[in-house]
Amino acid sequence: MNRKFIHFFNIVVGILLILEGGLYIFLMNKDKITHFQSIITTILLLIAWGISYYKQLKTNNKTAWLTVTIIIMVPMILPWLFFI
């Protein structure tokens, strides 16, 4: 697999995770109560993405870890399907 594609794809996924996580954290703050579920979910997704990105760079089985990254994107994409 092309190393440039791996970097580009993972940078885009990382930016989307941060943007969507921030969006959920700030939109779910109702009545000045911090929405801990959004914070924890964002942190867990960022950790999983970071591990997957690291494994894509260091192992020979890049395709399997790219699949893991795509699976990590499912919770990120799923809520937007309800707004369409």
pLDDT given at position 1: 67
pLDDT in 10s for each residue of the chain, 84 residues: 688 888 899 999 889 888 888 887 777 777 677 777 778 888 888 999 999 999 998 988 888 888 888 888 887 777 666 665
C-alpha atoms less than 13 angstroms from C-alpha of 83 in its C-beta half-sphere: 4
Residue 24 belongs to domain spanning: 3-81
- Domain count along the chain: 1
CA distance 38 to 35: 6
pLDDT given at position 22: 82
Alpha carbon distances (Å) from 14 to 19, 31, 49? 9, 29, 7
The amino acid at residue 14 is G
Model confidence pTM above 0.85:
no
